[in-house]
Amino acid sequence: MVDSNRIVSFDILKGGGILLVILGHIQIPYMLKTVIYSFHMPLFFFVSGCFFRPISLREFFAKKTRQLLIP
């Protein structure tokens, strides 16, 4: 089932970033590893920042309480 609210471009960016992380952890030339390490983590920060929604402290603590304490 396809969610109509998803932005496929961001899914592709995340998938590419995951592949770069995997590639960076195998035996590859040092220069290629340096290039991959220079941008794969900032890529994840950028993508997650695109979906940031500010919430109040009360809402934050209520959500974390439901997620962490109740289960």
| Threshold 0.95, pTM exceeds | no
- pLDDT given for residue 1 in this prediction: 54
- pLDDT given for residue 61 in this prediction: 93
Dmax of the chain from CA atoms?
A: 49
pLDDT at 4 over 80: no
- pLDDT given for residue 19 in this prediction: 93
Distance CA 66, CA 47 (A): 26
pLDDT tens readout for residues 12-67:
999 999 999 999 899 999 999 999 989 888 998 999 888 888 999 999 999 999 99
